[in-house]
Structure 1
Amino acid sequence: MQHFLLSAAARSISLKAVFKMGEDKAYETFCQLRWPETEGEAVCPSCGCTEVYNITTRRRFKCVACHKQFSVTSGTIFASRKLSFTDLLAAIVIFVNGAKGVSALQVSRDLDVQYKTAFVLSHKLREAMAREQAEAGKLTGVVETDGAYFGGYVKPANRKADRKDRRFLVNQNGKRQSVIVMRERGGDTLTFVGKSEAAGVALVRQHVEAGAVVHADEASHWDALHGAFDARRINHSEAYSTADACTNQAESFFSRLRRAEIGTHHHVAGPYLAAYATEMAWREDNRRVSNGGQAAMVAEAAMAAPQSRAWAGYWQREA
């Protein structure tokens, strides 16, 4: 059976089509995404008035009621943008086309923009994706949970006699973090970052409905789940899955995140680990959606997201 990503159904948009549509059509697309209720007709973001003047020479609007000027990206995650609408749309398509993520370096080369521009733009798209996860309710039904460690790599010494056992806490650098995943079968995937996998016990209690069936591995800290859930355990030293328990979907998420770390980004740890984990969870949940459908979902999320506080003026603050 042919894999979905190899089928024609997986390809419903291309960069060629984006650049062929031109700037005017790309602008109309963003208007439709921003104001779907009025079929792309501008609505003042300050007072909600639908009566506006159209300043066509600058692609801006002026509200009849409050007299404030605004653009289609005002108040969104793309506020104060410098890129053209065609480039923004192309960036979204490039971003979703990478099954295991796309590096900021590749985006900068494909769009011929500075690395800083591509880096911040990519993280703004991840922030828009994260809003969907934040709005998700509690997981129900059958939920798989697991944890995996990222970051904190300590390079071994050159000479064998000088090497230390990096499994001991005293020989670590304190930067190692655990990504905890909760994956509802046929539903949403939630990810969190903690100091250890044991932190996942409290997170499962908080984000999974009581009485749900929870699948976990043999780690002792998951023993605490048996009181509130129908917990099923799998011992990976004996089998990867059985008829009673399986965490393969959680492992599938970690496989995608690990491949992104090793082959695409090379470094997903530190303060940005949660953003990369959320992105890979989104990709897992929408892996059977065409790239055109994924691009539309990301664009809609970005236009619905408020102006970013974490990434607005990021490089100016870091300077």
Structure 2
Amino acid sequence: MAQHFLLSAKARTLSLAKVFRMGEDAAYGLFCEMRWPETDGEAVCPRCGCADSYFLKTRRKYKCTACYHQCSVTSGTIFASRKLSFTDLLAAIVLFVNGAKGVSALQASRDLDVQYKTAFVLFHKLREAMQREFADTKLNGTVEIDGGYFGGYVKPENKKADRKDRRLSFNRSGKRQCVVVMRERKGRTLPFVVANEGDAVPFVRDHVGTLATIHADEGTGWDALHAGWDTRRVNHSVQFMDKGVCTNQAESYFSRLRRMEVGTHHHIAGPYLRSYAGEAAWREDNRRVDNGGQAMKLVFGSMASRQSRSWAGYWQRAA
């Protein structure tokens, strides 16, 4: 039997020990290279685009020689106004990617000796950077589609006679949401959050090519797909695969997301469900990439993302 990738030495190319041994200057240089890869880490003014600047060593800032604008390596990025050192920031990213089923903010706060609020906001910023990879994604070939419901748990009554059938819509809490995933075979994964499974059909029109072949289950919400695509269905109440038609790749995604919910985060419903669904998709697409490659990919995506509008000053809001 072949060895699982995560058990092999190829999966381990970066460790926390290496991060802390490299020191603050080396970590800072790495962030510079990820921010300005075209100039090999040399600063480029974000205001006028000039590549000539002074380096203010005492403040670790750059001053443009053309417009005199001052900026740091994280200015305008998702890490803007950071307080952590670059070593701790890189260590937090390594911790984040090392969890195959995610890492809780509480565990990271203990590992990094920071407040829970710091780890919580930082990890959500990383999830926001992950969403950048899904922008303008178009799926082709064989695309599997499936939906799974999260949140809206209703605690059963103590006495059996008082319990209600929670499968009926009027006995639910109204907080239940559906994560719909569209996944290419041996390709990309694209999740969406909707109220009901059938509400995802407009998203399919926007993100699945007209020449694609769609595999779906027997859910009535997918009946509308037959009008626009070569749609093949499999009845899961009878069999999981029918002449090559299956949704196994979509089910693999939901397996990871359910394990993230049950074993790590415990509650991922509500307004944060979209972020966790995107994280699970990113982890599925990069499951055969070594942890060092994942960390560098996430650092590059974070430095290429603009300042977060959802998480900047999150704990300072009156709301």
TM category, shorter: over 0.9
2:128 is matched with which residue? 127
Q: In the alignment, is residue 184 of structure 1 matched against residue 176 of structure 2?
A: no
What's the secondary structure of 2:317's corresponding residue?
A: helix
| Alignment partner, residue 204 of structure 1 | 204
Q: Quick one: distance in 2 between partners of 1:307 and 1:171? A: 41
Deviation sequence 1:20-68 (CA, Å, 0-9, x none): 1000100000000001111011111111111111111111111111111
Please state how far the C-alpha of 1:201 moved relative to its aligned partner.
2.0
Equivalent pair of 1:34/1:300 in contact (CA under 8 Å): yes
| Residues 277-299 of structure 1, C-alpha deviations (whole Å, 9 max, x = no match) | 00000000010000000001100
| 2:255 aligned partner | 255
Partners of 2:295 and 2:243 lie apart in 1 by 37
- Report the TM-score, using the length of structure 2 for normalisation: 0.98
> Which amino acid in the other structure matches residue 185 of structure 1?
R
Deviations 1:177-203 (A, max 9, x none): 000000011221111000001112222
Change (3 A) 1:213 1:258: same
**How far does the alpha carbon of each residue in 1:130-175 deviate from its partner, in whole angstroms, 9 at most, with x for none?**
0111242x11000000000000000001111211111122211110
Trace 1:98-247 onto structure 2 (pairs within 5 A).
98-136=99-137, 138-247=138-247
Question: In the alignment, which residue of structure 1 is the partner of 2:272?
Answer: 272
Deviation at 1:318, TM superposition (A): 4.7
Secondary structure at 1:192 match in 2: strand
| Residues 1:273 and 1:318: Cα distance change in structure 2 (over 3 Å) | farther
Deviates more, 1:173-182 or 1:192-201: 192-201
User: For structure 2, which runs of at least 5 residues remain unmatched after alignment?
Assistant: none
Q: Which stretch of the first structure deviates more once superposed, 161-170 or 68-77?
A: 161-170
1:8 aligns with 2:9: yes
In structure 1, what is the equivalent of residue 90 of structure 2?
89
One-letter code of the match for 1:103? S
Q: Which deviates more, 199-208 or 269-278?
A: 199-208
Looking at structure 2, the residues matched to 135 and 57 of structure 1 have their Cα atoms a distance apart, in angstroms, of 41
Letter in 2 for 1:8: A
The question of whether the paired residues in 2 share the 8 Å contact of 1:150 and 1:269 is answered with yes
SS in 2 for 1:193: strand
Q: Percent identity?
A: 69
Instruction: Find out whether 1:77 has 2:84 as its counterpart.
Output: no
* RMSD of aligned residue pairs (Cα, Å): 0.9
Tell me the distance in 2 between the aligned counterparts of 1:276 and 1:222.
24
Which runs of 5 or more residues in structure 1 are unaligned?
none
Question: Which deviations, in whole Å up to 9, do the C-alpha atoms of 1:188-238 show, x marking residues without a partner?
Answer: 111100000111222212211113100000112212111211111111111
AA aligned opposite 2:104:
S
Alpha-carbon distance in 2 for matches of 1:9, 1:200? 38
2:225 is paired with a residue whose SS is: helix
Partner Cα distance (1:145, 1:55) in 2: 52
For normalisation by structure 1, the TM-score amounts to 0.98
